[in-house]
Every structure is written in C-alpha cells, then in structure tokens.
C-alpha cells in the first residue's frame, strides 16, 4: 500500500499538480512531507517552461511602464 502512495505523489508532482492538493489528498496537514520525501524523485522533471509564466507576467508589466 505504501508504494501506491509513493506512486501517486510522484506521478501527481511530475504532472504538475498543486503540492497543496496532493498533501490534502494524502492526509498531510501541509506540504512539508511532500517536499521532503517526494521531490527527490523528480530531479529530472524540471522542464523548460518553469518560471516562464511568471517571467512573461513581469516582462509585460515592465513594458507597460516604459
């Protein structure tokens, strides 16, 4: 049964699910356990779009003030 929980958490994280939602579904009070235990399995899950939306938001805001 424990392997099912690990599979669920790592799969959900790798698909970009919200860590707060994952913690809630797994019965954790916060994301501490998710971050400590499961993110080490996702070293290669970082993609080229990480930070892109935030960067575009700030770039758009800076461009409007010029």
Q: Is a pLDDT exceeding 70 seen at residue 64?
A: no
What confidence tens digit (pLDDT) does each residue in 25-47 have? Answer: 999 999 999 989 988 877 655 56
Domain residues for the domain of 37 are 2-65
User: Considering the entire predicted model, what is its pTM?
Assistant: 0.63
Number of domains in the chain: 1
Q: Residue 58: left (phi > 0), alpha (psi -120 to 50), or beta?
A: alpha
Q: H/E/C letters for each residue in the chain? A: CHHHHHHHHHHHHHCCCCHHHHHHHHCCCCCHHHHHHHHHHHCCCCCCCCCHHHHHHHHHHHHHHC
Query: Residue 23 and residue 25: Cα distance in Å, rounded?
Result: 6
């Amino acid at each position: 049964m424990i392997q099912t929980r690990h599979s669920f958490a790592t799969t959900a994280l790798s698909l970009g699910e919200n860590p707060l939602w994952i913690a809630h579904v797994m019965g954790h009070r916060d994301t501490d356990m998710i971050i400590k235990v499961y993110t080490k399995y996702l070293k290669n899950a970082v993609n080229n779009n990480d930070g892109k939306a935030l960067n575009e938001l700030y770039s758009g805001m800076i461009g409007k003030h010029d």
